[in-house]
Chains A and B, each alone.
Chain A
Amino acid sequence: MQRYAILAISCWSGFLVMGFEMLSGRILAPTFGSGIYVWGAVITVFMTALSLGYLIGGRLSMKQPSIARLCLLHAISGALLLPVLVFELPVLDGIFGITQDPRLGSLLASVVLFSAPAVIAGMVTPYAVRLLVDNAQDAGFYAGLQYFFSTFFSAAGTLLTSFWFVLIFEVDQILLLLFGITQAVALTAYLISRKRT
């Protein structure tokens, strides 16, 4: 039962990261355009943030790892979408006031707006692997399983967000939707994990 809870979080965390990344480009476009540099900045910042998250999450998993903490990390990564909703316009206007160069501007804006949720979402991956693995023998199997679910759902998050959600909802509404589902998944996973123990 616990493993289902961990994998559920892995799935939605993967979805969340790419859904959010696809929206990031749309959030920047009105201020810095949609040129190649803007998308380059978004992807660079997401990748850097995720890599840092892997490092920190792995380190964190050394100290009394628990599903409850995994659920908390997941909930925080989702909750950090709310500041984006509130501050996107003033932050973008402020940065445009400092620099109108789309390369520097979109890089700065991405760091300020998008890196925090991505770092925390990155932490989920090694933390989840640690909780899935019982002994060194199945470490590879469970790591593979975790990557499969999180990356497969990343693909789903990319596709559904960029081809379907944007056709129905506003960008901010999709952010709220991602936030809400993340909290629901974190809570459900927490409750499931407690059932059998």
Chain B
Amino acid sequence: MRSRLIGLLLALCAVAAPASAAQLHTERSLYRNLFVVEDNGLRCLTFRRAVATERQTCMRTAQPDYLVFPYTRMMLGSLLVKPDPKRVLIIGLGGGTLPMTLRQLFPDLEIDVVELDPAVTRVAEKFFGFKRDERLRVSEEDGRVFVKKAIRAGTKYDIVMLDAFEDEYIPEHLSTKEFLLEVKSTLTPDGVVAANTFSSNRLYPYESATYAAVFGTFYNLKLGNRIIWAQPNKLAERSALETNAKTFDAAFDKRGFDPDWLLDLASTDRDWDKDTRILTDQFSPSNILNAR
């Protein structure tokens, strides 16, 4: 017992004294505490004090366009499936990397962002260069409520990006078959949903089976996180992705990666048990599964 306590204290000390990480800002919100820390030119948003592994979003201060995390690159990679979007929905703002990158690539793109936590939006604007404009709106509400309203209003999206998950907590009502059906019905016929999920825990097969039940075959990209690119009708052929990749060569290169890297990651293999139970509004123990 005592040795465990000492170990815990040592671990706490190690966490409390990170090498030269400066805390720029803290903000209390309805949901959590937000911390903005900067270390070696890397500015990050975390939900826990100075814990480097829990970074939600990061930006190189000298090179804000650069995409630090593989998962943002893979999310943006959904452009290979739908290269000419007119209207995009992003659920979960974080530091605003995805909407700002899309804005740079497509000056006329209509972008709807849904972020539940107003404090996240404030921090993204103040510290991560996120800017709203006439065609970039932020709705401070639950993603599922927004999608339901979009269905009623008849709004269609070419790309829907689902990025409302953090390390510890998954909004369970955003992982179910019913929600994915709602998302599917807001997509244009050749639109794409890009979802940021987990790759290495008990939730993985459940999530995979649920996406497969709603969308059929999808592209699966695993690198730390798991990103899904799925389409409401027939999934775009790999050859089409390769063609589209050429269009984005320069744009992606500027942001630190190569479209071919994405193509190498994208797989349509089914690497989960096909009898896995599907997540529904009636059965969605995602957080319990994620914790195991």
B288 touches A29 (CB 8 A): no
Expressed in whole angstroms, the Cα–Cα distance for A169 and B284 within the complex equals 10
Tell me the residues in window 30-76 of chain A with beta carbons closer than 8 Å to chain B beta carbons: 30-36
Expressed in whole angstroms, the Cα–Cα distance for A166 and B280 within the complex equals 11
Decide yes or no whether A136 CB sits under 8 A from chain B. Answer: no
User: Using Cβ atoms and an 8 Å threshold, which residues of chain B touch A170?
Assistant: 280, 282-283
Tell me the residues in window 169-183 of chain A with beta carbons closer than 8 Å to chain B beta carbons: 169-173
Q: Which of B18-26, B81-89, B130-138, B169-177 touches A?
A: B169-177
B281 touches A30 (CB 8 A): yes
Expressed in whole angstroms, the Cα–Cα distance for A98 and B31 within the complex equals 27
Decide yes or no whether A96 CB sits under 8 A from chain B. Answer: yes
B148 touches A96 (CB 8 A): yes
A102 touches B142 (CB 8 A): yes
Nearest CB of A to B280, in Å: 7
Decide yes or no whether A3 CB sits under 8 A from chain B. Answer: no
B31 touches A36 (CB 8 A): yes
B172 touches A171 (CB 8 A): no
A30 touches B179 (CB 8 A): yes
Nearest CB of A to B140, in Å: 10
Query: Which residue from chain A places its CB closest to the CB of B171 in the assembled complex?
Result: A34
Expressed in whole angstroms, the Cα–Cα distance for A32 and B146 within the complex equals 10
A33 touches B143 (CB 8 A): yes
Overall SS of chain A's interface: helix
Expressed in whole angstroms, the Cα–Cα distance for A88 and B289 within the complex equals 26
Expressed in whole angstroms, the Cα–Cα distance for A167 and B141 within the complex equals 28
- Which of A34, A169, A171 has the largest count of B CB atoms less than 10 A from its CB? A34
Decide yes or no whether B45 CB sits under 8 A from chain A. Answer: no
Decide yes or no whether B64 CB sits under 8 A from chain A. Answer: no
Count class of interface residues, chain A: 20 to 34
Tell me the residues in window 194-219 of chain B with beta carbons closer than 8 Å to chain A beta carbons: none
The residue that B173 contacts in the complex, of A29, A100, A167, with Cβ under 8 A, is: A29
The residue that A33 contacts in the complex, of B142, B176, B283, with Cβ under 8 A, is: B142
User: Using Cβ atoms and an 8 Å threshold, which residues of chain B touch A26?
Assistant: 172, 281, 284
Decide yes or no whether B178 CB sits under 8 A from chain A. Answer: yes
Decide yes or no whether B116 CB sits under 8 A from chain A. Answer: yes
User: Using Cβ atoms and an 8 Å threshold, which residues of chain B touch A167?
Assistant: 285, 288-289
Nearest CB of A to B171, in Å: 6
Expressed in whole angstroms, the Cα–Cα distance for A170 and B285 within the complex equals 10
Nearest CB of B to A183, in Å: 22
Decide yes or no whether B234 CB sits under 8 A from chain A. Answer: no
Interface string of B115-133 (1 = CB under 8 A from A): 0100000000000000000
Expressed in whole angstroms, the Cα–Cα distance for A81 and B65 within the complex equals 54
Tell me the residues in window 73-105 of chain A with beta carbons closer than 8 Å to chain B beta carbons: 96, 100, 102
B284 touches A32 (CB 8 A): no
Nearest CB of B to A113, in Å: 15
A33 touches B173 (CB 8 A): yes
A30 touches B149 (CB 8 A): no
Expressed in whole angstroms, the Cα–Cα distance for A177 and B179 within the complex equals 26
A166 touches B288 (CB 8 A): yes
Decide yes or no whether B5 CB sits under 8 A from chain A. Answer: no
B145 touches A100 (CB 8 A): yes
Binding site for B on A (CB under 8 A): 26, 29-36, 96, 100, 102, 163, 166-167, 169-173
Please list the 8 inter-chain residue pairs (A to B) with the smallest Cβ-Cβ separation, ordered nearest first: A33-B142, A170-B282, A29-B173, A30-B281, A167-B285, A166-B285, A171-B282, A170-B283
13 pairs across A/B with beta carbons < 8 Å?
Answer: A26-B284, A29-B172, A29-B281, A32-B142, A33-B144, A33-B145, A36-B31, A96-B148, A102-B141, A102-B145, A163-B288, A167-B285, A170-B282
